[in-house]
């Protein structure tokens, strides 16, 4: 663990990018950052592939780059254009504060990773695991503090990226079938939420989900 | 492979028919025929397992069926067939009244309903935890469209809440699944997600990853099952969906999530860290049942009432899972599904006739239709666990085993919860059945639309009074 490998640099960078997403209220900027974050993760997967020569990882790297790195951000950006939702507003935490909270959680996730059991022999990446946990936290903060439906979806994607990062660094040889199924589910989920956002815009004339509270009793 | 294919074939045909552009009236009839055939096929597939010829059957590397999965699989297909039959009757009535706003909505109901059925079948036959997760997430995505069937603001809000809460919840289950995988490869073995292999080498799993993974999976699948405090999506989704879809959600989708929890609990029970797999589900289940029974008392909508009652039953089933008695869980699930489906279908009829979901505006159901009123009363007795019905036996056995295992506090809480749920449901039911109906709403409910729920009610009664329960318990 003394020398930090390039894949760990990529993953740590992606966790920091996830914190940066929290710092921007412009939907477009956060979507580009999301694409960048996913690309970094795809890059790390590719580097792992070169390192271990597992063919699954190579396939996955390409799939992740195409789906999460390109398709999803572009689709969501197209959606924001259609829905005229350019700026988000934070609902109960000011933006700088939520970003600071994320940086704090980033540090905390290193502490949490220390508690995890160590592998016997297999290469386990300390930084990668911390980056994964940190991204899950960032995604959760994003989902809790933002108003726009599109930001909620962004938050969900950050959580998913975090879980994937954790899986990438803590396990070897996840069955490809499972990974593909997860990606497929994710893509369908994005499409369905995208369609729903259109409907929300049509019926309520905004996509501020904190105002959807007719059913609350 | 052929078995899996035959399980998916008929729903896939139904999907194709919806896309093909047949008229709605024909699609409806074909859908009913296809789904009852599907139920027959499913029963034929699970028959060797249920009849005890073989303890479990393996379809391929990742798919197989144990006896609990077998019972639930055939139950799910039965529930689906009943719901779709009722849906056909409902759509027929609507067509006669000339109030079909959009023909495509009905098509999409059948299309996504069939997809949902495929996804649910996969939940029960997946022996791979990863594929189990994929199937559960797929059920969420398919059923979201069913919740959105009415296409109004409230349905939209409920669907959005359902999709977001369940997706995030299920994401935690994915995290848990990965932790299970990590736990399996700690001691030099190659990692696996196959539950059968994991059960064999339960003692070699890494304890820390295992416990963390179990907690995360419990959180994730618990969200889908509607345990307190992650239940927020459940009442709204059940209340806004059309009656047939609510019946599917409550009668089979909750079972899917609970089945996933049951599998994992079984696995963790085999290790030396079995304490976590019994105390957490029992405590959580008791808490859920108690909260739900408190919420039942102040409900304002008839379908909200049944939604919270489902939540109470989920709590009881969680206790059964925590006790390490999957047989009691399955028994409870069978009884609950039969009755709850009947109740949702009855409620659909009542809402259609009277034109409101609000309990305080529904009066004189017995006067409007004695058969419907009597059916609702019987089913309400069944769902709250009154003696001649099957759920009484299940609840009694669960309480008994709780006391035997010295979980006295949980038993007491559960007892209070069951009692309060009975009082709450009883109060609302008496209000709705009694009184005089407004003269404007005195339209008859056609008897044909009461057939399905009445038969379901009868099934539950049979489970209680005959030796069927005994036989079922012997099989399990």
Q: What are phi and psi of B66, to 5 degrees?
A: -105, 180
Q: What is the pLDDT of residue B19?
A: 86
Mean pLDDT (chain B, rounded): 87
pLDDT beyond 90 at B317: yes
Collect all residues of chain A within an 8 Å Cβ-Cβ radius of residue B185: 122, 171-172
CA angle at B252 for the pair B144 and A179, rounded to the nearest 5°: 60
**Contact between residue B181 and residue B128 where contact means Cβ atoms under 8 Å apart:** no
pLDDT beyond 70 at B401: yes
**Contact between residue A162 and residue A138 where contact means Cβ atoms under 8 Å apart:** yes
Work out the minimum CA distance from B47 to partner chain A, whole angstroms.
29
**Contact between residue B442 and residue B369 where contact means Cβ atoms under 8 Å apart:** no
How far is the C-alpha of B100 from the C-alpha of B149, rounded, in Å?
12
**Contact between residue A128 and residue A7 where contact means Cβ atoms under 8 Å apart:** yes
pLDDT band (50, 70, 90) for residue B336: very high
How far is the C-alpha of B195 from the C-alpha of B56, rounded, in Å?
13
Local structure of A90: helix, strand or coil: strand
Q: What is the pLDDT of residue A1?
A: 47
How far is the C-alpha of A176 from the C-alpha of A45, rounded, in Å?
13
pLDDT band (50, 70, 90) for residue B117: very high
Q: Is A170 near chain B, with CB under 8 Å?
A: yes
Retrieve residue A129's tokens: 């695991």
Collect all residues of chain B within an 8 Å Cβ-Cβ radius of residue A215: 154, 157-158, 161, 236, 239-240
Q: What are phi and psi of B57, to 5 degrees?
A: -120, 145
How far is the C-alpha of A71 from the C-alpha of A62, rounded, in Å?
12
Pairing of strands B64-66, B56-58: antiparallel
Mean pLDDT (chain A, rounded): 83
Q: Is B150 near chain A, with CB under 8 Å?
A: no
The H or E element containing residue A204 is helix A176-204
Retrieve residue A115's tokens: 């508690």
Mutate to test the interface with A, among B160, B176, B299 (most CBs of A within 10 A): B160
Contact A196 B159 (CB under 8 A): yes
How far is the C-alpha of B135 from the C-alpha of B120, rounded, in Å?
7
Per-residue pLDDT tens digits for B90-110: 888 877 776 656 778 888 889
Local structure of A87: helix, strand or coil: strand
pTM of the model: 0.91
**Contact between residue A66 and residue A35 where contact means Cβ atoms under 8 Å apart:** no
pLDDT beyond 90 at A117: no
pLDDT beyond 70 at A119: no
Local structure of B375: helix, strand or coil: helix
Per-residue pLDDT tens digits for A134-172: 999 999 998 888 888 888 888 999 999 998 888 888 877
pLDDT band (50, 70, 90) for residue A121: very low
B435: left (phi over 0), alpha (psi -120 to 50) or beta: left
**Contact between residue B293 and residue B321 where contact means Cβ atoms under 8 Å apart:** no
Alpha-carbon separation of residue A144 from A79, A130, B168, B241 (angstroms): 21, 21, 12, 26
How far is the C-alpha of A192 from the C-alpha of B144, rounded, in Å?
9
Contact A178 B163 (CB under 8 A): no
- N-term to C-term CA, chain B: 26
pLDDT beyond 90 at B27: no
Contact B191 A119 (CB under 8 A): no
Q: How far is CA A26 from the centre of its chain?
A: 17
Mean pLDDT of A7-30: 87
pLDDT beyond 70 at A122: no
The H or E element containing residue B56 is strand B56-58
How far is the C-alpha of B96 from the C-alpha of A126, rounded, in Å?
66
pLDDT beyond 90 at A98: no
Retrieve residue B376's tokens: 């609702």
Q: How far is CA A94 from the centre of its chain?
A: 21
Closest CA to B287 of B413, B430, B458: B413
Per-residue pLDDT tens digits for B160-198: 889 889 988 998 999 999 888 888 887 777 778 888 888
Retrieve residue B442's tokens: 């005195």
Q: What is the pLDDT of residue A123?
A: 56
Residue B66 bridge partners (DSSP)? B56
Retrieve residue B361's tokens: 């505006």
User: Which residue has better confidence, B341 or A48?
Assistant: B341
Per-residue pLDDT tens digits for B389-398: 888 888 999 9
Residue B358 bridge partners (DSSP)? B301
Work out the minimum CA distance from B113 to partner chain A, whole angstroms.
16
Residue B58 bridge partners (DSSP)? B64
How far is the C-alpha of B269 from the C-alpha of B202, rounded, in Å?
9
């Amino acid at each position: 663990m003394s020398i930090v490998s390039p894949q760990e640099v990529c993953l740590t960078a992606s966790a920091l990018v996830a914190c940066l997403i929290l710092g921007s209220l412009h939907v477009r900027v956060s979507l580009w950052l999301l694409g960048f974050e996913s690309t970094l993760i795809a890059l790390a997967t590719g580097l792992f592939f070169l390192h271990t020569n597992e063919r699954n990882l190579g396939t996955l790297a390409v799939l992740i780059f195409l789906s999460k790195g390109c398709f999803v951000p572009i689709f969501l950006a197209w959606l924001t254009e259609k829905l005229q939702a350019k700026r988000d507003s934070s609902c109960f935490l000011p933006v700088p504060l939520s970003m600071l909270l994320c940086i704090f959680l980033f540090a905390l996730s290193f502490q949490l990773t220390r508690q995890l059991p160590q592998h016997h022999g297999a290469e386990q990446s300390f930084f990668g695991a911390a980056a994964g946990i940190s991204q899950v936290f960032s995604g959760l903060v994003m989902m809790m503090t933002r108003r726009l439906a599109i930001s909620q979806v962004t938050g969900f994607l950050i959580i998913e990226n975090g879980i994937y990062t954790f899986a990438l660094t803590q396990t070897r040889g996840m069955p490809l079938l499972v990974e593909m199924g997860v990606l497929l589910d994710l893509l369908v989920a994005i499409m369905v939420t995208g369609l729903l956002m259109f409907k929300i815009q049509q019926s309520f004339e905004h996509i501020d989900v904190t105002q959807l509270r007719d059913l609350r009793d | 492979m052929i078995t899996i294919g035959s399980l998916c074939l008929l729903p896939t045909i139904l999907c194709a028919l919806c896309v093909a552009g047949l008229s709605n009236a024909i699609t409806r009839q074909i859908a009913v025929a296809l789904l009852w055939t599907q139920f027959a096929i499913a029963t034929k597939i699970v028959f060797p397992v249920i009849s005890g010829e073989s303890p479990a059957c393996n379809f391929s590397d990742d798919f197989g069926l144990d006896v609990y999965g077998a019972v639930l699989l055939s139950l799910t297909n039965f529930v689906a067939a009943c719901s779709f039959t009722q849906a056909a009757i409902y759509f027929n009535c609507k067509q006669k009244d000339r109030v079909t706003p959009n023909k495509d909505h009905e098509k999409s109901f059948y299309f996504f309903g069939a997809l949902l059925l495929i996804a649910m079948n996969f939940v029960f036959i997946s022996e791979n935890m990863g594929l189990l997760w994929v199937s559960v997430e797929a059920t969420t995505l398919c059923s979201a469209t069913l919740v959105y069937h009415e296409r109004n603001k409230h349905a939209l809000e409920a669907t959005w809440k359902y999709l977001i809460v369940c997706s995030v919840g299920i994401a935690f289950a994915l995290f848990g699944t990965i932790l299970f995988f990590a736990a399996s490869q700690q001691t030099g073995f190659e990692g696996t997600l196959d539950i059968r292999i994991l059960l064999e080498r339960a003692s070699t799993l890494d304890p820390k990853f295992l416990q963390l993974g179990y907690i995360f999976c419990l959180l994730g699948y618990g969200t889908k099952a509607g345990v307190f405090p992650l239940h927020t999506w459940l009442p709204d989704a059940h209340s806004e969906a059309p009656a047939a879809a609510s019946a599917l959600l409550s009668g089979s989708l909750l079972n899917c999530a609970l089945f996933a929890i049951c599998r994992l609990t079984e696995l963790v029970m085999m290790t030396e860290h079995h304490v976590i797999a019994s105390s957490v589900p029992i405590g959580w289940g008791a808490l859920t049942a108690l909260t739900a029974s408190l919420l039942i008392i102040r409900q304002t909508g008839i379908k909200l009432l049944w939604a919270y009652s489902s939540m109470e039953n989920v709590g009881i089933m969680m206790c059964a899972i925590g006790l390490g008695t999957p047989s009691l869980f399955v028994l409870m699930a069978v009884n609950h599904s039969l009755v709850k489906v009947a109740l949702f279908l009855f409620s659909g009829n009542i809402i259609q006739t009277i034109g409101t979901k609000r309990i305080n505006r529904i009066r004189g159901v017995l006067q409007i239709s004695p058969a419907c009123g009597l059916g609702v009363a019987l089913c309400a007795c069944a769902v709250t666990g009154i003696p001649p019905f099957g759920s009484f036996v299940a609840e009694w056995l669960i309480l008994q085993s709780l006391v035997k295992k010295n979980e006295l506090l949980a038993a007491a809480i559960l007892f209070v919860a069951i009692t309060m749920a009975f009082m709450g449901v009883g109060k609302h039911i008496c209000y709705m059945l009694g009184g005089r109906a407004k003269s404007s709403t005195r339209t008859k409910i056609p008897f044909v639309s009461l057939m399905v729920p009445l038969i379901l009610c009868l099934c539950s009664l049979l489970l209680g009074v005959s030796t069927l329960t005994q036989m079922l318990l012997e099989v399990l």
